Amino acid sequence: MKTRSFTFTLMLIILALCANLVYSQAPQGISYQTVIRDGSGQPLANRNIGIKITLENASEVAYYAETHSKTSTGEGVVTLTIGGGTKEGVNTFSSIPWQNGDVYVKLEIDPNGGSTYTPMGPHTKLQSVPYALYAASGQQGPAGTNGISIEWLGSFSSAPVSPTLNQAYYNSTDKKSYIYSSTGWTVLALDGTEGIQGPEGPLVSGTTGQTLYNNGTTWTATSSLINDGVNVGIGTTPTQNLDVNGNMRLRSTLYDYNNTSGTLNQLLTRGTSGVLWQTPSAISIPNGTGTSGQLALWSGTNSLQGTSNLSWGTSLQVSSLTSAGSDDPIFEVRNKDGKVVFGVYQGGVRVYVEDAVVKGAKGGFAVGGLSNQAKALPVEYFRITPDSARIWVKNTPTVKGAKGGFAVGGLSNQAKAGTLNELMYIGSDSARIYIDDTPSKGAKGGFAVGGLSNQAKGGSANYFNVSTNSTGNIYPSQKRVMWYPLKNAFLAGQVIIETPDSVGVNSFATGFESKAKGNYSQALGYNAIARGQYSTAIGYQALAHKNNSFAFGYQAKATSDDSYAFGSGAQASGNKSFAFGSVGIDSTGTVTGNTKATGDYAYAFGLGSIASGKASLAFGANNIASGSFATAIGYKTNSGNWYSTAMGGYTTASGFYTVAMGYKSTASGIASCAFGNQSTASGVYSFACGDGAKAIGARSVALGAFSNAQGAYSFAVGYSSITGPSATAATALGRETNASATYSTAIGYQSASSGIYSLAGGNVSTASGISSIALGDHASASANYSIALGRNVTASTQYAIAIGNTTTASGDNSTAFGNQTTAVGKYSLAVGYGCTANAYSSTAVGSYNVIEGTPGSWVATDPIFAVGNGTSSSSLSNAVTVYKNGTMKLKSNFYPDADNAATLGTSSNRWNILYSVNGTVATSDLRLKDNIIEISYGLAELLKLKPVSFLWKKSPQEGRKLGFIAQDVKPIIGEVVNEGDDPDKTLGINYSSIIPVIVKGMQEQQQIIDSQKQQINELMEANKRLLERVEKLETLNK
């Protein structure tokens, strides 16, 4: 069997199994429609389905078969025409013998769109409607009666006035069609039921011109593609038919105004009508020849030619001609006088600087003197060799004016006679710069980098200036490197000091108009501000507002004591809070929010995360921890209450002490927990874990995919297990189990317990009665206090018990045990195989007993106990039947358990009448007897017995009976009298034991008879002789 299979439930809706009889020939096809669902009952929407239709007879012999490939609708509906598919085999649709009347349809499908078909149940017989197909080729029937003509009036909201016979219309108000007859308007037809509601489409908000795109989860509006109805813009609001803002990549051919794609080396140019592909020569673009990497040289007329000693590959290359001499330059830069300022030669590179004593601005970065170029050996001011780097400074007082070269020294020393001052010294032990800051007129000492053109002017525009400031303010801002002695502070960059309190003691500020206002603070960047003591602000408009605060990044803000903000737009406003991260950005690039730690002691880490609760933690992207001591980790998680925790993606922990982890899980009840995909724990102290799990009831637990614990204190574990909303303390364990009543329990697969205190376990078992129990396969306990245990067992009335296989207890307080047993009567018991206890308070055991009796009341003639020995439901039989009136029937022999060990009846429990066809047999085998003696009783004792007739006191209605009185017999023949063990010691007579006495008496009587017979014979002989003598005497006397 496949590891994964689908069971498809088909709701077959035959919309039209009819042929159109209006035309002269019947159509060769039958309309057919079906809804295809999966094992959970959900329609298979928008899916390609492979379908096979077979028309066959009752014995499944195929008349015709065909296949279809159909795509289901959003509601899982598939519509096809039988007869219009791909035929299989040699038979045709027209060859189907409709006249036989036994055409069945069999449906098989492949849900994956292939040809591996699965039968969808047994075939179904087509009824009479499609047999119109047979009418197309059948015999001509008798002429029918004239039909009626219907005049269709149209559609109206109410009935037309003054109608005539057989006029019809459609009522748009009640959605029915009516026909007018002699009795008035009669319903002719009505609209079908409303179809299945399709799934709700996504509701997406946007602005004018925005378009939709799918981000992998849902549809959302985007400004990446704008459509205003006329123009389309990519990355911008369009002003032309197509307006693209940003890079564009063309992966195919671009066609011009003439709808041509151009050829090799053509250029796209703008013509009078639009852009066109053209060759360079057609638009008078100069061209020429060259090799790879060469630069083009204009010929002066109309062509270009590649240069041989100047080329561009991965870098600009200037090469000397191979014919050049050892002193020929490779590259030279000359001034207006033709003197070399910068030269590249065969052996090295030289830079020359104007050093003549002239007025005006001097040369900039100077290495060497221009005036020395004509000398045999030029004077070097700056030299770099393999062993050293050297700078020579000319400060001799033999010339007037500003000195050339790279000078580090005091301006006041230029006029002194030969005094050698070390202005900058770099040695093995130190690096030193000496600055003359004496308040003299003229240029001031210091370390300055400025423009050469400003040396003769009254002021100096400093580019780099290390100096002091004692005035207390610099406003507007200036480019400075400055020591601020009023506060022992250091400032550099575009410095601004509106007032002395804009600078903190021992503070440091650098960048553009940055301010370190707090004592011992630091501000670095653009408009960075460190207001708090010991605070630090670094970045663009970073703000460290309170003591010991730290802001680092673009517009980062740390506005509370001991707060820390790191990243673009990070904001730490809570006391001792931490914000680390950047502004949030969604999948379209839209900014969603800043990383914020607004709660005291809060921590916010990641893109756009917010920790607003006291001591809260938000970690990840766009998370919100708004509850005190709350934690939000992942993407767009939200922990909104005290001690709540949300982790994963789109999770929400909104209740006190809640935990939500996974994807779109929600924990809203107090102290609730939700884990997994879209799980929900909304009940107080509830717990939900799994895909779509829901714990709605207070203190409920839901574990497993789509489990749902709705009742308070309920427990739902397994796939789609459910406890109902009113099912307090209910338990559902397994797959698709349902415990919907208080204290009910459902365990297994699709088991359901809907009665209070009920228990259902196993496969598709149901316990719907109060305190009912159903355990097994398809067990059902539907009544209060009923019990069903086993396979296909049913206990349908109160206090009923059904145990075994296919047993049924349908009578109140009835019990059925075994296989296929049934207890129908109240208080009945059926035990065995195929037994039925049908009578009130009856018991049936064995196999297939005779079914008889009244289930609901006591009837004396009904059986109370039956031992069945039947072989099947059609061959019922009883071995023993005991009736409520005391009557018992035995079907065959009746034996005691041991030989000569049992007694039938007692002195106090006697049989009334014993019927027998062949009498009773008493064992009398010589081999079983010992101490045999002849009895002494005989005729004398018999003559003493007194036979009587009598009436039984308890049953006089039975009439007079014949017998003996035991008290009379006992002194005569004591062995035949039995004294009972009852309290009255009732006497009884063993009548069969009197038989030997009777026989002995008859023997004795026979002896007497024989003796008397002999005497009679002798007397008769003597009498004969006497008679003969008399006769002779008479004769003689005559």
Nearest Cα residue to 647 out of 674, 684, 681, 682? 674
**Cis peptide leading into residue 43 (ω within 30°):** no
Contacts 24+ apart (CB under 8 A), 517-520: 518/544, 518/547
701 in any annotated domain: yes
What is the spatial distance between Cα 69 and Cα 49, in angstroms, rounded to a whole number?
6
Query: Which residues form the domain of 337?
Result: 329-393+405-414+422-437
Report which DSSP code applies to 372.
G
Residues 340 and 430 both lie in one domain: yes
Do residues 521 and 532 touch, judged by C-beta distance below 8 A?
yes
Give the per-residue pLDDT at 33. 81
Count of structural domains within the chain? 6
- Report the relative pairing of strands 808-809 and 822-823 from DSSP bridges: parallel
Give the per-residue pLDDT at 294. 65
Q: Name the H helices within 571-690.
A: none
Alpha carbon of 306 to those of 117, 289, 309, 323, 651: distances in Å? 75, 6, 9, 19, 67
Do residues 633 and 619 touch, judged by C-beta distance below 8 A?
yes
Exposure of 58 in the CB half-sphere (CA atoms within 13 A): 3
Which of residues 743, 767, 791 is at a domain's end? 767
What is the spatial distance between Cα 333 and Cα 348, in angstroms, rounded to a whole number?
14
278 in any annotated domain: no
Bridge partners (DSSP) of residue 468 are 483
Residues 46 and 159 both lie in one domain: no
Phi and psi angles of residue 958, each rounded to the nearest 5 degrees, phi first: -80, -5
Low pLDDT (below 70) residues in the chain: 1-28, 39-40, 127-148, 192-202, 284, 287-316, 353-472, 584, 913, 915
Alpha carbon of 415 to those of 326, 399, 408, 418: distances in Å? 44, 9, 15, 9
Q: % helix / strand / coil in the chain, to the nearest 5? A: 10, 35, 55
Report which DSSP code applies to 875.
B
Residues 41 and 119 both lie in one domain: yes
Residues 952 and 1003 both lie in one domain: yes
What is the spatial distance between Cα 637 and Cα 126, in angstroms, rounded to a whole number?
59
Do residues 863 and 881 touch, judged by C-beta distance below 8 A?
yes
- 901: three-class secondary structure by DSSP: coil
282 in any annotated domain: no
Give the DSSP per-residue string, 38-82. -TTS-B--S-EEEEEEEEE-TT--EEEEEEEEEE--TT-EEEEEE
Residues 726 and 802 both lie in one domain: no
Residues 737 and 851 both lie in one domain: no
- Say which CATH number the domain at 748 has: 2.150.10.10
565 in any annotated domain: no
- 541: three-class secondary structure by DSSP: coil
Which of residues 717, 735, 767 is at a domain's end? 767
Report which DSSP code applies to 142.
P
Residues 759 and 787 both lie in one domain: no
Give the per-residue pLDDT at 22. 31
Give the per-residue pLDDT at 216. 79
475 in any annotated domain: no
What is the spatial distance between Cα 56 and Cα 65, in angstroms, rounded to a whole number?
9
What is the spatial distance between Cα 297 and Cα 280, in angstroms, rounded to a whole number?
17
H or E element that contains 492: strand 489-497
Residues 735 and 793 both lie in one domain: no
Give the per-residue pLDDT at 293. 58
660 in any annotated domain: no
Give the per-residue pLDDT at 415. 41
What is the spatial distance between Cα 704 and Cα 502, in angstroms, rounded to a whole number?
64
Residues 842 and 745 both lie in one domain: no
Residues 757 and 800 both lie in one domain: no
Residues 710 and 811 both lie in one domain: no
Nearest Cα residue to 637 out of 596, 671, 665, 674? 665
Exposure of 914 in the CB half-sphere (CA atoms within 13 A): 7
Nearest Cα residue to 689 out of 723, 669, 659? 659
Q: Which residues 6+ apart lie within 8 Å of 497 measured at CB?
A: 469, 472, 473, 474, 475, 484, 491, 503
pTM for the full predicted model: 0.47
Do residues 828 and 839 touch, judged by C-beta distance below 8 A?
yes
Alpha carbon of 1000 to those of 298, 921, 942, 988, 1004: distances in Å? 169, 20, 9, 22, 6
What is the spatial distance between Cα 479 and Cα 187, in angstroms, rounded to a whole number?
97
Give the per-residue pLDDT at 5. 34
- Say which CATH number the domain at 60 has: 2.60.40.10
Residues 13 and 131 both lie in one domain: yes
Which of residues 185, 207, 225 is at a domain's end? 185
The residue whose two tokens read 């509906």 is: 77
